[in-house]
Structure 1
């Protein structure tokens, strides 16, 4: 593992979708990446063998995440880095549907994956990198954090939790740590396929997302990842704790 890069990044859910595109963008910019996911990426390690480290970890299980945090793996990865970046990308849109039909176990899984693990990793990163002069945390948020949608009560609530966590952490006024809960826009990923595959009784706005796909209005993971990484590594990152990449991409 080549850890000579002055910038090192941890990306959750790096095996597919936006997470895979984020990891690839960072690696292509000579940033060493630690990927945390339930499975390994099928090809990234072959292309970036010296710069990518992968850990298979069930991110929806807080106990396993806590056990991994208790090891020295994170501290060893960030040791000596000038800038460390955590991108909390892994998440789930399930359970979709009205409150009376939501499975209790699915709710617990969503809250664990979407909220508990990102908050645990954020705290762990801050503690593991005291010598880094620049620490950055990105929560991948959603417009659903800021607008309520029928059928998405769990997803909306969990993403709103990330937004408010970022606001509160920013008040800690730690000048060596910047944080932003960043909405990436609507991206053509497996999550979008899940949304389009849900029944209208579960998600009344399904047709809106079908139209976005039909009309070519979804961003590709690669397009969104490039914008996200540009912003995460920019001097402007952290000026506001809650943001939308679509606003960041607009010309001044």
Structure 2
């Protein structure tokens, strides 16, 4: 049996990934600050949801110390972990960044994915574990105004590279850039001032020219890759080719 643990399943790419998994008969345990009522009504008990603030590392630690994760994966042959939740904030040069916002970004974008990955490695007795970090081209290229976002996504990339060196045959991991998806994060980027993000007009043009990938399409490609034989062959990958 295959099951999936997914963060940030209530909106955007995460909601689309959850729908893809559930439609393929893969039960999902979703972790987010809220509940996805639409998916709950469509898929019923196949979707289990936990309201958890992933920016709160103490809350994540307490949840992982319980039995919920172990119970969810107890009967699995294959367990999937999709670390999707993330934030682009704070946007702006160093002098405009609030320390508290930096701390929240690092907790959500870096600490939570690494904590969940480590917990899954010990909680699951499954013969195969697959961990997918949702990364970004920003992890591989530096952009003005995005120093925190770039650094946190680069951390996920390097985490995957290092985990591969542990040579755990039962575990596959990949930090995957899914492409530019038409989500709420893109709307946040377009709402930035040029002072905060000098490259904003490039993202305005992507939306205007219809160059953004629809969440359903991006999710389908992501899940196809996650379930493919080639997943984990490269610790860092990009669906844009």
Q: TM-score, normalised by structure 1?
A: 0.95
Superposed CA offset, 1:71-129 (max 9, x none):
00000000110110000000000000000110010000000000000000000011101
Match of 2:96 in 1: 101
The answer to whether structure 1 residue 198 and structure 2 residue 186 are counterparts is no
Gaps of 5+ in 1: 1-5, 248-252
The answer to whether structure 1 residue 237 and structure 2 residue 231 are counterparts is yes
The answer to whether structure 1 residue 154 and structure 2 residue 148 are counterparts is yes
Q: What RMSD over aligned residues (CA atoms) do the two structures have, in Å?
A: 0.5
Gaps of 5+ in 2: none
12, 17, 20: which one aligns with 1:22: 17
Report the Cα distance in structure 2 between the residues aligned to 1:98 and 1:65, rounded to whole angstroms.
30
CA-CA distance at 1:200 after TM superposition: 0.3
Partner secondary structure for residue 246 of structure 1:
coil
Structure 1 runs (4+) greater than 6 angstroms displaced: none
Match of 1:250 in 2: none
The answer to whether structure 1 residue 142 and structure 2 residue 115 are counterparts is no
Match of 2:48 in 1: 53
64, 69, 93: which one aligns with 1:69: 64
CA-CA distance at 1:236 after TM superposition: 0.5
Match of 1:227 in 2: 221
The answer to whether structure 1 residue 246 and structure 2 residue 240 are counterparts is yes
Q: TM-score, normalised by structure 2?
A: 0.99
Partner secondary structure for residue 37 of structure 2:
coil
Report the Cα distance in structure 2 between the residues aligned to 1:50 and 1:155, rounded to whole angstroms.
35
Partner secondary structure for residue 49 of structure 2:
strand
2, 24, 27: which one aligns with 1:32: 27
Q: How does 1:111-190 map to 2 (within 5 A)?
A: 111-129=106-124, 131-190=125-184
Partner secondary structure for residue 164 of structure 1:
helix
CA-CA distance at 1:246 after TM superposition: 1.6
Report the Cα distance in structure 1 between the residues aligned to 2:100 and 2:14, rounded to whole angstroms.
25
Partner secondary structure for residue 30 of structure 2:
strand
Report the Cα distance in structure 2 between the residues aligned to 1:71 and 1:123, rounded to whole angstroms.
15
Report the Cα distance in structure 2 between the residues aligned to 1:201 and 1:112, rounded to whole angstroms.
26
Report the Cα distance in structure 2 between the residues aligned to 1:185 and 1:121, rounded to whole angstroms.
24
